[in-house]
Structure 1
Amino acid sequence: MVEKNYTVIEKSGIHARPATMLVQASTKFKSDVNLVFNGKSVNLKSIMGVMALGIPNGSVITIVTSGPDENEALATLTETIKNQGLGE
């Protein structure tokens, strides 16, 4: 299991467009991928789960990956978050 924290810098937070990009990036992997915010953990492969968290700008989120390609999954999600200007 590997995990990394990010601070959301997208001014609208994690709304529909960024949530969709994160879900699409995570579904490419066999590993379990979870998004943790405010003590709640959801499957990052579920758009409804991510949207239900209502993550605003300035929030600290954690992505946790566990499985055979966990490091690759975390690296890809980190790249997606930074390239799309979602977090740092």
Structure 2
Amino acid sequence: MIEKTVKIELDSGLQARPAAYFVQEANRFDSHIFLENDDKKVNAKSIMGLMSLALTKGEEIKLIIEGEDEEEAMEYLTSLVREKV
């Protein structure tokens, strides 16, 4: 299991289209992937879970990934919140 705190740099945060794209890409990996913000932890492969966080630009999230492809998943998903989708 690996964890990393990441600052969201997308202008629109992780809402609507960027959130849907993030969930779609998270589902490509076999690992279990979670996002944590404040005291709320959600499955990053669930659009409803991700949308419930209402993440905006500048917020910090913790990515928690566990599984065979966790390193690859961490690198890729981290890049999604730091770049324009």
Q: TM-score, normalised by structure 2?
A: 0.88
What's the CA shift for 1:40? 0.7
What CA RMSD, in Å, does the superposition of the two structures yield over aligned residues? 1.5
Distance 1:57 1:78 in 2: 14
Amino acid at match of 2:54: G
Match of 2:22 in 1: 22
Match of 1:59 in 2: 59
Match of 1:2 in 2: 2
Are the counterparts in 2 of residues 7 and 58 from structure 1 also a CA contact under 8 Å?
A: yes
Q: How many residues align structurally?
A: 85
Amino acid at match of 1:19: A
Match of 1:84 in 2: 84
Identity over the aligned pairs, expressed in percent? 39
Where structure 1 has 5 or more consecutive residues not aligned to the other structure, the ranges are: none
Distance 1:15 1:77 in 2: 15
Match of 1:68 in 2: 68
What's the CA shift for 1:57? 2.3
Amino acid at match of 1:21: Y
Distance 1:31 1:38 in 2: 23
Look up the SS of the partner of 1:13 in the other structure. coil
What's the CA shift for 1:33? 0.3
